[in-house]
């Protein structure tokens, strides 16, 4: 499921926007409730696993108990809880190409947000739950994009021939960290949430990837 090919084209992304059903303001998972909070109050985790024979999204208590499958259709992976815990964003090949989807926390009400000929991965919610950042190759390069939670108003934030992956919102929603190979090695960068003021913040010969902010 991990994207491994190296992009070469540099054409602009398509201007068409998806027409996904807008994200409801609230939702309740009724068919398969989430695990209860762990005894130590640790919360609930979502994760990817291929233990069923294909990649799927699971949830469990933070102590590892009550593990259960939420969805395993067509390489569902890279889950990300919405800030209110009611929705999970993920990527899936169910349409024949890796696209970004959301579903309620019980794995129901699945909605497709992106729809293009190139793969989309690594969705992550903004702290205010209004937007989702993700990685896409829809312009021929691996770049960071952002969209409304309805799938509309897609905006390209980075534009570099190298790979820009793994976006991560800052807790205040003002900045996004990401990993990039634009300096011939994986390094960590940050930028404003509108894509401006991109800057590298690591510099070494090792590979630096998967940034995440302290809450």
Domains of the chain (ranges, CATH numbers): 85-200 (2.120.10.30)
What is the per-residue pLDDT for 23? Answer: 54
Let me know: does 112 contact 20? Beta carbons within 8 Å: yes
What is the per-residue pLDDT for 74? Answer: 75
* 90-109 tens-digit pLDDT: 999 988 899 999 999 989 99
What is the per-residue pLDDT for 15? Answer: 38
Extract the residue ranges of the chain whose pLDDT is less than 70.
1-33, 37-41
Let me know: does 155 contact 167? Beta carbons within 8 Å: no
Residues whose CB falls within 8 Å of the CB of residue 66, separated by 6 or more in sequence, listed in order:
35, 36, 60
What is the per-residue pLDDT for 94? Answer: 87
Q: Is the pTM of this model over 0.85?
A: no
């Amino acid at each position: 499921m991990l994207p491994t090919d190296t992009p070469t084209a540099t054409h602009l992304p398509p201007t068409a926007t998806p027409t996904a059903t807008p994200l409801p303001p609230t939702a309740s998972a009724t068919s398969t409730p989430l695990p209860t909070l762990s005894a130590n109050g640790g919360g609930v985790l979502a994760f990817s696993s291929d233990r069923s024979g294909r990649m799927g999204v699971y949830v469990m208590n933070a102590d590892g108990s009550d593990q259960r499958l939420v969805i395993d259709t067509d390489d569902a992976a890279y889950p990300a809880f919405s800030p209110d815990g009611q929705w999970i964003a993920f990527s899936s090949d169910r349409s024949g190409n890796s696209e970004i989807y959301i579903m309620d926390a019980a794995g129901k009400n699945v909605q497709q947000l992106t729809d293009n000929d190139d793969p989309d991965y690594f969705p992550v919610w903004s702290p205010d739950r209004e937007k989702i950042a993700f990685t896409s190759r829809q312009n021929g390069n691996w770049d960071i994009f952002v969209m409304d939670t309805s799938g509309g108003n897609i905006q390209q934030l980075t534009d570099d021939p190298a790979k820009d992956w793994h976006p991560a919102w800052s807790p205040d929603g003002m900045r996004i960290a990401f990993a990039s190979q634009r300096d011939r090695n994986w390094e960590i960068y940050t930028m404003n949430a509108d894509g401006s003021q991109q800057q590298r913040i690591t510099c070494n010969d090792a590979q630096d990837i998967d940034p995440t902010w302290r809450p």
